[in-house]
């Protein structure tokens, strides 16, 4: 690799382009892992606001595991495969539609699933974290994984809050994870820098992109998932003190303008940047 700015390569951890699989150098520990996953719409669309003014119009939307949660599921499966032992459970809080999301995770290889049933779309991260923590508390998990943030409500809060509620150490937005005995060794990306972090297990981690690309379920996986246990329990949500009052689409940018072709238009561009946009 050529010049890579803003990052030294003296560390024992591999560069962020390596896959998670490569970054686990030793045979991993046997862990009981829980991954909290959220069902979100596919973002690759132009959203419309529902008549209530408080939600997106779900007509025609496709739903899947929130992006970072998918990376977390994949990372958890790789840890289990590496040890050839252990267990991966997924938990989702939501209406019955989340059962489809939980089955998808099981078709990727997850062993079992729990739905914390709640209709409606809570936005209060503390309330969500409280309900998840109640379920996780006595689960005997060595590692509890979250996405760095959910891609729809995007507060990036639930993982660290669950850790606080359970009194567990927490490292957020990690892009690398390996183990030395019962110590987790991680890397977090900062703006133009990174940190190497360690903490003892049991622990909570939230997963950034780059750690592992989620696999596609195989046909065999899809068949197997139908027989795996999916438990449904009511979610215990406390009172919510963060409410969603309204949703709106951001103002559209004015339509783009092509000013011309080839290097000959550069002087015109520079004039516009100077006189019209005033950025030069």
Ligand X SMILES: Nc1ncnc2c1ncn2[C@@H]1O[C@H](COP(=O)(O)O)[C@@H](O)[C@H]1O
The footprint of ligand X (CB under 6 A) covers 36-38, 66, 68-69, 91-94, 125, 128, 146-147, 149-150, 153-159
Q: Which is nearer to ligand X, 29 or 147 (CB)?
A: 147
Give residues 96-155 in contact with another protein (rule: CB under 8 A): 123-127, 129, 149, 151-155
Total residues contacting another protein by CB under 8 A comes to 94
Give residues 187-206 in contact with another protein (rule: CB under 8 A): 188-200
Q: How far apart are the first and last CA of the chain?
A: 34
Task: Work out whether 273 is an interface residue with another protein (CB under 8 A).
Answer: yes
3-class secondary structure, 104: helix
38 binds, among another protein, ligand X, none (CB under 5 to 8 A by kind): ligand X
The answer to whether 160 and 170 are in contact (CB under 8 A) is: yes
User: CA-to-CA distance for 149 and 230, rounded, in angstroms?
Assistant: 24
User: CA-to-CA distance for 141 and 200, rounded, in angstroms?
Assistant: 13
Phi, psi of 52 (to 5 degrees): -65, -20
Task: Work out whether 60 is an interface residue with another protein (CB under 8 A).
Answer: no
Residue 116 CB neighbour total at 10 angstroms: 22
Q: Which is nearer to ligand X, 154 or 249 (CB)?
A: 154
- Candidates 14, 95, 139, 210: give the one binding another protein (CB under 8 A): 210
Task: Work out whether 23 is an interface residue with another protein (CB under 8 A).
Answer: no
Q: Which stretch binds another protein (CB under 8 A): 25-33, 85-93, 95-103, 237-245?
A: 237-245
Tokens of 225: 């998932």
Residue 223 CB neighbour total at 10 angstroms: 11
């Amino acid at each position: 690799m050529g010049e890579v700015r803003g990052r030294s390569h003296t560390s024992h951890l591999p560069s962020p382009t390596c896959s998670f699989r490569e970054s686990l150098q030793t045979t991993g520990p046997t862990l009981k892992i829980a991954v909290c996953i959220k069902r979100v719409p596919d973002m690759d669309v132009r959203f419309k606001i529902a008549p209530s003014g408080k939600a997106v119009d779900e007509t025609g939307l496709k739903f899947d595991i929130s992006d970072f949660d998918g990376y977390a599921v994949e990372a958890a499966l790789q840890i289990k495969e590496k040890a050839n032992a252990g267990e991966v459970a997924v938990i989702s809080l939501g209406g019955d539609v989340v059962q489809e999301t939980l089955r998808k995770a099981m078709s990727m290889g997850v062993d079992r699933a729990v739905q914390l049933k709640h209709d409606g779309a809570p936005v209060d991260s503390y309330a969500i974290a409280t309900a998840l923590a109640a379920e996780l508390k006595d689960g005997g998990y060595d590692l509890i994984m979250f996405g760095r943030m959910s891609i729809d409500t995007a507060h990036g809060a639930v993982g660290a809050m669950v850790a606080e509620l359970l009194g567990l150490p927490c490292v957020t937005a990690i892009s690398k994870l390996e183990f030395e005995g019962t110590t987790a060794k991680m890397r977090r990306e900062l703006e133009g820098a990174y940190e190497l972090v360690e903490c003892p297990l049991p622990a909570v981690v939230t997963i950034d992109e780059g750690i592992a690309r989620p696999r596609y379920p195989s046909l065999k996986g899809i068949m197997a998932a139908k027989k795996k246990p999916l438990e449904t329990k009511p979610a215990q949500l406390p009172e919510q003190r963060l409410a969603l009052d309204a949703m709106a689409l951001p103002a559209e940018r004015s339509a783009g303008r092509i000013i011309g072709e080839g290097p000959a238009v550069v002087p015109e561009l520079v004039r516009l940047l100077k006189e019209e946009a005033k950025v030069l």
